[in-house]
Structures are given as structure tokens and as C-alpha cells.
Structure 1
Amino acid sequence: METTVRETRQLGKTETRLFAIALGGMPMSLSSRPPESQGVATIHKALDLGVNLIDTADAYCQDESDKHHNEKLIHKALEQYSGDTSHVLVATKGGLMRPNGSWTRNGSPQHLRETIRASYEALGGEKPIDLWQYHAPDPEYTIADSLTPAKEAVQAGLIRFVGVSNFSVEQIKQAREVVEIVSVQNQYNPWHRQPETDGVLEYCEAEGLTFLPWSPLGGSRRVSELKNVKAIADLAHQKGVSVYALVLAWLLAKSPCILPIPGASKPESIEDSVRSAQVKLTDAEFRTIDQATVS
């Protein structure tokens, strides 16, 4: 039996369908960011290939003085693109701060109201934010307090859809009592299998929520190690794809609610990631990848 990936995925229970691979914008705005022209070219390549979900955050920047950098870059790239972008969704996040380049949580309702407005403006200020996600729960505030600004922003026409990130099942349930939730963005890759055991992936499947794995290839250190995992390297060679595309195909085969968001800062990187949507895995091949990184 072969598993064939459907090239599109539904966003929650909405009528919106998305290409099976999204573009993660973070690498284009951190301290190691490429030239702006390269970032724009990367976004344009993704659009050329049919990608219609771009994931960003207000905190994808170098530090607090640089806040909303990635959102502004994505908006500029969309403005400069010669093709139709009416079907492209930009998903952003709020709730993290970047003091001196570090990462800290801030679930203050007042802060979130301000950053939602700033994200709305950074993304053009002409239409609602397609998908706004609470970046990570802040233990200093209740889920209800932190998500009330998102509910208000939906009612005010600043946000279209709402998602959460780095949430447990119980926290997702609390969030859904405040505002409709369409997606969950948690870490998931061959080395980080927590969503398989903590109930989040199962909950998303049962409740019709889209699961967006962040760091789907395991981060910079793991990415460099992938070629050294013999079972994965051998299978990738047999299929004529990169080890990265193979791992993304494995994630896609895990569940129809999964839509990976691999980061990219070069056009060839997102081009390689998109190939994963065409990869077919037999049950045996799927198990080979599944077991190759289990310690």
C-alpha cells in the first residue's frame, strides 16, 4: 500500500484550502538574515510553486528595535509579486518579546492588543490578518485574559482566523472557550515526537484543527545531521529526493491535519521542501523513517 499526499489541506473547519507545505519566514529576519532581495526572491519562489500559506510572527526580528521585520518583508514581497496573491494567507503570531535578541513571553492583554494592531499595520493595514496565533502561553496571565484581545480583534475586523502555538490539550480547550480556534502550531519532527504522546495531534484530528509543525526538520543542528541517518539517507537516494523532502513527506503522511512550515531563506530551499508533497511512501517506507530517529 502506498500513501499519497493530498496536495492541499483544509484550514480547520473553514472552507479555506492550503497547499500541503507552507513557508516559514523566521530565517529571513533573525540576526543571520540574508539580504532583503534574497528574502523577497524566496517568498516569490514559494508563490510560484503554489505555496499559499506564509508563517511569520511579530517577534521574527533581531531584537525589540527591529520588531515586525518579517511581517513587513512578507508584505513587501507580496506587493512586488506580479501574480495573483488573493489566495495567499499570511499567518502571524504575537506574545513573544525579543529583548537584546532573547526570547521571552508576554501575554499581557494590553501588549497583545497593541501588537495585533501593529501586525495588522505591518501586513498592509488594508485587510484582516488572515491567521493570528497566540505564540506561547504566559503563566502570568490566564488563557482567557490573553486571548480576549484576539476575540476583540476578530469582532473589530482586524483578524480573520485565530490559532494557538505551544499549547497543551487543556490549554487549547481553554482557548476555544474564548474564541474559535482553527489551528495549533507546536514543535514536531522526527526527534521531537511529543505531539504523538501528549494528545495534541489526536485532539486536532478529532476536532478538525489544523496542526502546523514548527521546526519540522529539527532545527539547524538536526538538519545538518539528517544526511548521517543511514536509513533516511538511503531511502531518500532511492526516491531521488533530499533527506529534507523525505522527512517532510513523512510528516505529511502522519496525519491529514498536518501542514508543515519549513523555514527558508533561499529560493532553492523552499523549492526542495515543496517536492515533498509529491513523495509517495509505502507503509514499510513510512515505518523506516518513523523508526530511524527513535532512540
Structure 2
Amino acid sequence: METKTLGHTNIEVGAIGLGAMPMSISGRPPESEAIAVIHRALDLGVTLIDTADSYCQDESDKHHSEQLIAKALQSYSGDKSRIFVATKGGLMRPGGTWKLNGDPKHIRGAIARSFEALGGDKPIDLWQYHAPDPAYAIAESLAPAKEAVEAGKIRYIGVSNFSVKQIEEARRVVEIVSVQNQYNPWHRNPETEGVLDYCEREGLTFFPWSPLGGSRRVGNLQDIRAIAQLATEKGVSIYCIVLAWLRAKSPCILPIPGASKVSSIEDSVRAIEVQLSPAEVRQIDDGI
């Protein structure tokens, strides 16, 4: 698979990643099926898996996704030397809801638990602050992550759901290699708010979360005429077209489409082969 360099590191990862959330939240597949999805992704050349401690059903189920990934990697018979797991911390799941928690004490404990959930035998490849909590200064919330890097528990740090100003604030505390914000045909804020331009200019990797619109909107992609037309012309799925559109937007973009079925990750990886011309990108831009 084509690869991309992660931020200013020397780490090369597959140009399409695997979003692990659908395999751990409500409606998740049986564990054996989820592990089959992860193994198939790795067989196809995917080397980056994105997860979070909050990818679970509720607080009693916390770290489910990380534990699932660790179990899948342990049983994988292929080459595991280049597999890179990115996780996140800073959200709670009380009663299945999503709640910010940037308390440094919580962050410190969350990092320790993520480290153990992912196996506890090597540093977390990439730890991302899931979303800024206005109750705490960004410097306060990121202090435990900086400590964890110094202690050898984390290799690299990223941020998620951050504005340009917040990214700059985070970079004054720790080195940041990536930004993960929502970006899809219905949510193009990274374009309009300058985050995408900033990441490209500063050499940060940009992970678009919910690249296909999430479970509530993915079914509506077929109603976007420009996307449907290009999918027919190129003989690929509408999902491949959307992922190709995102990749064409900036060289810093690395999509992480979620999957809970083997067929889904197989289709997402096909997007690597889809090339969109500038005119075709504009065609989609104008049609959404």
C-alpha cells in the first residue's frame, strides 16, 4: 500500500487507516468478526489503527476497543513490525453518553490504563487528546501526556477536535504530530476554519474522523449526484469516491474510515487506486 509519513517523524504508515470505533460501540459485531476485520485490514496493507479509550458502550466497558485491538494483534500471524496504534483519551461514557474530562488526574490515569489495555509491553504509538475541555487549560490537560512521553509510555502526541488557536497552544506544551477533526461532505469546517491549511503548512498529519458522514449520514451519500456519477464512471463505490476526494484535498490527509465488516475495509482500501482530477474534485465541491 502507498504510505505517508506521520507528521515530522520518520514513521511511515499506510495511506488508509482503520477506524476502530464501530467494532466497540453499541451494535458492535461479535468479537470474532471484529478480529477478522482487523486481520483483513492488516493483510491489505493497513498499518495504522485509530481507537480511543472511550470506544465502548459505557464506563463499565471502558477500553474495550484497545483491548480488542491488543487481542487481534496478539493472534495475528503476519508481520506486526510496522503496525501503529493511535488511541485517544479525555472523554467519558457515562450511560453511553459522551462527556469531556480534561482533568489532569483523569488524563494521567487514562494514559496508564490505555498503556495496559494495549498490552503494556511497549509505548503507546500515538496518544491523542480527544477533545479540549474548557474547564481546564490545554497546558494542564496535556501535562500528563508530556510526562508519559518522558517516561517512555507514549511515543508521539496528537490532538483531536482542536481549532488552529488550540493546536498552537498545545504545541507550546508538547510536540504535536497530528490533528484529528471531523471532515466529510457535510462537515467541511477544516477547510473554512483554516485547520487543514495549518496542518499542511506545518507538516502535521490530518486524520478526518467520520470521513463518510457517520452512521446517520453515510446512507445519504448516494443522493449527492456528483459523487454518484463519478462512482459509476470509475466503477467503484461511492465510499471510494469520498475517500479519494478527501485524499485529493491535501497531501497531509490520511483517512481513517471505520469498519465492522471485512467487506467495508476491503472497499475502503480500494480508494487508494482512485485518482480524482482537480476538475473532478471541484465537481464534488460544487455538488455538496
TM-score using structure 1 length: 0.96
1:29 and 1:70 map into 2 onto residues whose CA distance is 5
- Residue matched to 1:231: 226
- Residue matched to 1:182: 177
Matched letter for residue 137 of structure 1: P
User: What SS does structure 1 have at the residue aligned with 2:60?
Assistant: helix
2:125 to 118, 122, 130: 130
- Residue matched to 1:3: none
User: What SS does structure 1 have at the residue aligned with 2:251?
Assistant: coil
- Does structure 1 residue 191 correspond to structure 2 residue 186? yes
- Does structure 1 residue 73 correspond to structure 2 residue 68? yes
Matched letter for residue 155 of structure 1: E
Offset of 1:7 from its aligned partner? 2.1
Matched letter for residue 63 of structure 1: D
1:280 and 1:247 map into 2 onto residues whose CA distance is 11
Matched letter for residue 129 of structure 1: I
Matches within 5 A, 1:80-99: 80-99=75-94
Matches within 5 A, 1:126-205: 126-205=121-200
Matched letter for residue 185 of structure 1: Q
- Does structure 1 residue 108 correspond to structure 2 residue 99? no
- Residue matched to 1:37: 32
Q: Which has the higher contact order (CA 8 A, sep 6+)?
A: 1
Offset of 1:258 from its aligned partner? 0.3
2:65 and 2:260 map into 1 onto residues whose CA distance is 12
Q: Deviations over 1:246-280 (max 9, x none)?
A: 10000000000000111000011011001111101
Q: Deviations over 1:153-188 (max 9, x none)?
A: 000000000000000111101101111000000000
Q: Deviations over 1:208-230 (max 9, x none)?
A: 00000000011112210111222
Matched letter for residue 45 of structure 1: R
2:46 and 2:133 map into 1 onto residues whose CA distance is 32
Matches within 5 A, 1:238-277: 238-277=233-272
1:241 and 1:287 map into 2 onto residues whose CA distance is 19
Matched letter for residue 118 of structure 2: L
- Does structure 1 residue 56 correspond to structure 2 residue 51? yes
2:197 and 2:228 map into 1 onto residues whose CA distance is 29
TM-score using structure 2 length: 0.99
- Residue matched to 2:210: 215
- Residue matched to 1:23: 18
Offset of 1:19 from its aligned partner? 1.0
2:193 and 2:230 map into 1 onto residues whose CA distance is 29
What is the CA RMSD across the aligned residues, in angstroms? Answer: 0.9
Q: Flag structure 1 segments of 5+ consecutive residues without an equivalent.
A: 1-5
Offset of 1:283 from its aligned partner? 1.9
Offset of 1:284 from its aligned partner? 1.7
Matched letter for residue 65 of structure 1: S
Identity in percent: 70
Where in structure 1 do 4 or more consecutive aligned residues deviate above 6 Å?
none
2:227 and 2:165 map into 1 onto residues whose CA distance is 35
- Residue matched to 1:280: 275
User: What SS does structure 2 have at the residue aligned with 1:57?
Assistant: coil
Matched letter for residue 187 of structure 1: Q
Matched letter for residue 170 of structure 1: K
2:36 and 2:69 map into 1 onto residues whose CA distance is 11
